[in-house]
């Protein structure tokens, strides 16, 4: 696939109802909503909040993919500030290192995850949800939740992710989005990992690349 094909594939998959997952070294992964896509398919106007504004002002390379989309094409991006709540994201091809470090795979059949609502101070009042894992990436996971779930975007959760009997991760997470899942009565949610150490990132990268048999 040529560089231009890579960008074309990204825009072919993109819909203005999608969210974008933005990643940068040493900056927490953020998810932003799309306002408009340029007709020339070279830039995207996105909504930004206080946290994602850090990516606008940080002088670091940014990688972007479609949030919650399995095997989303990966592109690189740079920001131009538009106004207080909007910024324009200029899209260009990603290099080999970027593509490798932003892998998102369909969930293995032996993966499981649970979410614990951390918004209640009383631990006895916290709600625990068992989920079906849909996909896994370096920045977080996509899950399917029951329709009675009352989690909402930006809510903090405790995430327990297990893959088989040899790999498990427990960390804080943030609900990025939650929306109806296909025609079923279930919901789809994107859960962003909290800050992971470099050792955890490398372990997860090896797992996503198919060459990990370790437990941490």
- All domains of the chain, ordered by start, with CATH? 3-101 (2.40.10.220), 104-209 (2.40.10.220)
The DSSP bridge pattern shows strands 75-81 and 27-37 to be: unpaired
Query: Which pLDDT value is given to residue 171?
Result: 92
pLDDT digits (tens, 9 = 90+) for 96-132: 555 545 556 677 788 899 999 988 888 888 899 999 9
Main-chain dihedrals φ then ψ at residue 120, nearest 5 degrees: -90, 130
CB 76 within 8 A of CB 84: no
Contacts of 156 (CB under 8 A, 6+ apart): 118, 119, 172, 173, 174
Quick one: pLDDT band at residue 28, thresholds 50, 70, 90? low
Q: How confident is the model at residue 156 (pLDDT cuts 50, 70, 90)?
A: very high
pLDDT at 112: 92
Average pLDDT over residues 136-150: 86
Yes or no: say if 73 and 65 are a contact pair by the CB < 8 Å rule. Answer: yes
The residue that leads in pLDDT, 125 or 83, is: 125
- Rounded to whole angstroms, how far apart are CA atoms 202 and 85? 34
Instruction: Encode pLDDT of 168-180 as tens digits.
Output: 899 999 898 888 8
Question: Residue 194, exposed/middle/buried by CB under 10 A (0-12, 13-18, 19+)?
Answer: middle
CA gap 207, 141 in Å, rounded: 13
Which is more confident, 207 or 187?
A: 187
Instruction: Please determine, for residue 215, whether its predicted confidence score (pLDDT) is greater than 50.
Output: no
Higher pLDDT, 104 or 42: 42
* Nearest-angstrom CA–CA distance, 163 and 178: 23
Residue 22 has pLDDT above 60, yes or no: yes
The larger pLDDT score, comparing residue 39 to residue 181, is at 39
Query: Which is higher by pLDDT, 192 or 198?
Result: 192
Share of the chain above pLDDT 90, in %: 15
**Two tokens at 150?**
């009352």
Percent of the chain with pLDDT over 70: 82
Measured torsion, CA atoms of residues 127, 132, 137, 141, in degrees rounded to the nearest 10? -20
Average pLDDT over residues 173-201: 83
The CA distance from 138 to 23, in Å, is 9
pLDDT at 192: 86
């Amino acid at each position: 696939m040529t560089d231009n094909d890579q960008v074309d594939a990204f825009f072919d998959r993109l819909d203005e109802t999608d969210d974008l997952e933005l990643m940068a070294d040493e900056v927490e992964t953020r998810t932003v909503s799309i306002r408009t896509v340029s007709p020339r398919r070279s830039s995207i106007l996105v909504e930004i909040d206080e946290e994602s504004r850090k990516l606008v002002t940080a002088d670091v390379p940014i990688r972007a993919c479609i949030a919650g989309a399995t095997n989303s094409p990966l592109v690189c991006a740079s920001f131009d500030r538009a106004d207080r709540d909007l910024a324009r994201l200029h899209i260009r091809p990603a290099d080999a290192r970027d593509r490798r470090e932003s892998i998102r795979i369909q969930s293995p059949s032996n993966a499981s995850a649970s979410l614990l609502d951390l918004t209640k101070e009383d631990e006895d009042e916290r709600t625990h949800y068992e989920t079906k894992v849909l996909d896994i990436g370096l920045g977080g996971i996509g899950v399917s939740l029951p329709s009675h779930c009352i989690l909402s975007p930006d809510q903090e959760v405790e995430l327990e992710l297990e893959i088989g009997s040899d790999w498990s991760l427990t960390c804080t997470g943030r609900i990025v989005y939650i929306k109806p899942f296909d025609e079923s009565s279930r919901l789809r949610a994107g859960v962003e990992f909290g800050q992971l150490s470099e050792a955890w990132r490398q372990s997860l990268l090896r797992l996503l690349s198919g060459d990990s048999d370790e437990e941490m």
